[in-house]
Amino acid sequence: MVNNSLISIAEEYPMGIGVQLRQKNEKIYIVNFEQDSSASKSGLQKDDEIIEINGASIKNLSLEEVANKIKGEKNTKVRLKVITKNNEIKDIEITRNFNVHLAEIKNNLLLLLESKKYTEMLILTNKYLNDENVFNNKTLLIIIYDYRGIARYNLGDNLAGYKEFKKAVNIIPHSLGFYGMGNCALGAKQYSLALKLFILSIDYNNDNPEAFEGKAYACLGLRKNEEYFKNLEYAKEQYLRKGNTVKYKEILELLKNEGYY
């Protein structure tokens, strides 16, 4: 889970332009762009070869050296000269407004989440929390506490998971944080509390099938059968609209088995 609605409050690190690079045969190429980054809207293309940065040749520079030359203070400009696949030469000026460090942290945590390495996730996030610059960045803190909550929940420690998500919510209230707290409360069979938290999650993001599904199970624990079926049905339709046919079919089968249809 990654919360895309987080508000960036402070940028403590050098900023980039949102471009991914590759070195091949001592040349540096653009291979991809971060979504909605300044580079993606600049006119640069995949497979463009970078030959100059701010008028200086990058010949014989390493990939890391080129990346460091592209980075700089927030909202400053960097000028790239590139050769396209069609052998055209372009000179493009781009604003540095992409938080490279934030992207690196999110990518590192996402890789651990996808591979279900929850213990490693706790170790890495603990290391981040000992970094003073990270600790002073509210955006990073929210992401880190949310991921710690996910890790602890999946390791079966509902109380610790609840506390991690609560730390994130106390910084800025957001849908993922309340959803995580709701899951932890549900896991501890605190159905009334879980119901309140899933409702809060939905208040912050109504397009939220996971929270509606969690709300349904909280209602089931409270023996509110009509509300259980109503929310499960709503979650099913939201999953379908989002293209998650696996969850759609899973809930559809569950409803059929319980005689809803």
Q: Which residues contact 146 (CB under 8 A, 6 or more apart)?
A: 1, 3, 164, 165, 168, 176, 177, 180
Number of domains the chain is built from = 2
Same domain, 85 and 173: no
Per-residue pLDDT of the chain (261 residues), as tens digits, is 333 333 333 344 578 898 889 999 889 999 988 877 888 889 999 999 999 999 999 999 999 899 999 998 888 999 999 999 999 999 999 999 887 777 778 888 989 999 999 999 999 999 989 877 677 778 889 999 999 999 999 999 999 999 999 999 999 999 999 999 999 999 999 999 999 999 999 999 999 999 999 999 999 999 999 999 999 999 999 999 999 999 999 999 999 888 876
CATH of the domain at 156: 1.25.40.10
Together in a domain, 89 and 185: no
Calculate ∠ Cα 49-52-57, nearest 5°.
115
What lies within 8 Å, CB to CB, of 104 at 6+ separation is none
| 46 and 175 fall within a common domain | no
Same domain, yes or no: 151 and 228: yes
For residue 176, give the amino acid letter: L
Question: How many beta carbons lie within 10 A of that of residue 132, not counting itself?
Answer: 9
122 and 70 fall within a common domain: no
**Domain identity same for 218 and 161:** yes
Question: Whole-angstrom Cα distance, residue 132 to residue 144?
Answer: 14
Range of the domain at 24: 18-96
Residues 190 and 245 in one domain: yes
Q: Are residues 75 and 141 in the same domain?
A: no
Shared domain for 158 and 61, answered yes or no, is no
